[in-house]
């Protein structure tokens, strides 16, 4: 049996035409402007697009997803030779390869997430002009792809810990916090840069140079112990200082664990994230017309 809805008589014109119900369009206010509810409802699409993006990136390669491991491993070997063997940087009593990689790993999560996020509007411009998708989901797709790649490269760190016979203690429970902190830091900056990168392509290039400079201002290839005391406070305003130090604290027992004054960069990142979300939503409305 097929149920046919009954249309009230007052919604039918004398000629038999149906009067559609009125559609009320209201401007969203406050948190509603961010379409967070729609982002949650569209999460199956997010998962599908992340998988599609991963397949497309390594479809025409010989080794496929093994590049997630080969690339970081080659980078670790080269930097270990340059800074560990030639320059002989201090590694706080740890083997330099794992000392370096324990910091390179969280940095790559941050830097790659930012790079994909800041170019997300340009990457998905064709989608936005053809189908509806919550705009705030666009940078999440790029960051989701980066997170999957990063999870695979994480296996190198586990292999190094087995090779050097290092053990993990209770501090591993704080690993998700540092991972989220790195991702949110990248997202908070990417939300500001992505809309500006569409009309002004040099904004994206300039931001990449800033991230490269930040790499050397973060204790990655060198130990935080060599930072002069009078400059340490400036380093600690950098969110990635705490992420890198936190990873070394968890996996190597060196570095620096959570401190109360890390709440300052945490508060800064949260402020940038909320304000950036509104800026991203505001400018992405007419981004197709600008392009």
* Structure confidence by residue, pLDDT tens digits, 175-226: 999 999 999 999 999 999 988 888 787 888 899 899 999 999 999 999 999 9
Q: Which domain holds residue 218?
A: 38-290
Q: Taking 90 as the threshold, does the pLDDT of residue 110 lie above it?
A: yes
CA angle 252, 253, 257 (to 5 degrees): 115
For residue 247 the two structure tokens come to: 């990873």
Which tops the pLDDT comparison, 26 or 263? 263
Which tops the pLDDT comparison, 145 or 287? 145
Q: Taking 70 as the threshold, does the pLDDT of residue 47 lie above it?
A: yes
Which pLDDT tens digit goes with each residue over 86-98? 989 999 999 999 9
Which tops the pLDDT comparison, 218 or 149? 218
Alpha-carbon torsion (108, 110, 115, 119), positive or negative: positive
Whether residue 8 is contained in a domain is answered as: no
pLDDT, position 283: 79
For residue 242 the two structure tokens come to: 């705490």
pLDDT level of residue 13 (50, 70, 90 thresholds):
very low
Which tops the pLDDT comparison, 41 or 61? 41
pLDDT, position 57: 74
Whether residue 2 is contained in a domain is answered as: no
pLDDT level of residue 67 (50, 70, 90 thresholds):
confident
CB 288 within 8 A of CB 130: no
Whether residue 119 is contained in a domain is answered as: yes
Whether residue 81 is contained in a domain is answered as: yes
Least confident of 48-57, 166-175, 234-243: 48-57
Whether residue 4 is contained in a domain is answered as: no
- Structural domain tally of the chain? 1
Task: Provide DSSP, the chain.
Answer: --PPPPPPGGGB-TTS-B-PPP-------GGGGGTHHHHHHTHHHHHHHHHHHHHHHTTT-SSGGGHHHHHHHHHHHHHIIIIIIIS----TTS-HHHHHHHHHHHHHHHHHHHHHHHTHHHHTHHHHTTS---TTHHHHHHHHHHHHHHHHHHHHHHHHHHHTT----GGGGGHHHHHHHHHHHHHHHHHHHHHHHTT-HHHHHHHHHHHHHHHHTSSSSS-GGGS-GGGHHHHTTSHHHHHHHHHHHHHTS-S----GGGHHHHHHHHHHHHHHHHHHHHHHTTHHHH-
pLDDT, position 284: 72
pLDDT, position 9: 43
Which tops the pLDDT comparison, 9 or 102? 102
Least confident of 24-33, 42-51, 200-209: 24-33
For residue 29 the two structure tokens come to: 């206010």
Average pLDDT over residues 232-239: 94
Whether residue 245 is contained in a domain is answered as: yes
Task: Say how far apart CA 55 and CA 147 lie, in whole Å.
Answer: 14
pLDDT, position 286: 65
Whether residue 6 is contained in a domain is answered as: no
Whether residue 115 is contained in a domain is answered as: yes
Which tops the pLDDT comparison, 73 or 57? 73
Burial of 59 (0-12, 13-18, 19+ CB in 10 A): exposed
């Amino acid at each position: 049996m097929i149920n046919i809805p009954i249309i009230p008589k007052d919604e039918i014109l004398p000629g038999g035409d149906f009067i559609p119900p009125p559609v009320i369009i209201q401007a969203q206010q406050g948190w509603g402007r961010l379409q967070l509810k729609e982002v949650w409802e569209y999460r199956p699409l997010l998962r599908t697009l992340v998988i599609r993006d991963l397949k497309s990136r390594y479809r025409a390669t010989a080794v496929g997803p093994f590049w997630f491991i080969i690339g970081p491993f080659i980078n670790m070997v080269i930097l270990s030779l340059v800074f560990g063997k030639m320059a002989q940087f201090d590694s706080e009593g740890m083997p330099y390869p794992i000392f370096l990689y324990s910091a390179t790993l969280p940095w790559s999560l941050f830097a790659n997430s930012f790079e994909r996020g800041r170019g997300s509007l340009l990457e998905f411009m064709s989608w936005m002009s053809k189908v509806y998708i919550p705009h705030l989901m666009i940078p999440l797709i790029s960051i989701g792809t980066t997170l999957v790649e990063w999870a695979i490269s994480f296996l190198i760190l586990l292999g190094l810990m087995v090779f050097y016979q290092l053990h993990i203690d209770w501090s591993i429970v704080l690993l998700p916090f540092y991972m989220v902190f790195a991702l949110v830091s990248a997202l908070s900056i990417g939300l500001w840069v992505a809309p500006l990168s569409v009309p002004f392509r040099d904004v994206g290039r300039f931001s990449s140079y800033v991230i490269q400079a930040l790499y050397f201002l973060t204790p990655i290839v060198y130990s935080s112990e060599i930072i002069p005391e009078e400059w340490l406070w400036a380093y600690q305003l950098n969110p990635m200082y705490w992420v890198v130090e936190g990873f070394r604290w968890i996996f190597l027992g060196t570095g620096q664990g959570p401190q109360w004054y890390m709440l300052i960069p945490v508060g800064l990142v949260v402020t940038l994230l909320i304000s950036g979300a509104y800026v991203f939503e505001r400018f992405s409305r007419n981004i197709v017309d600008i392009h």
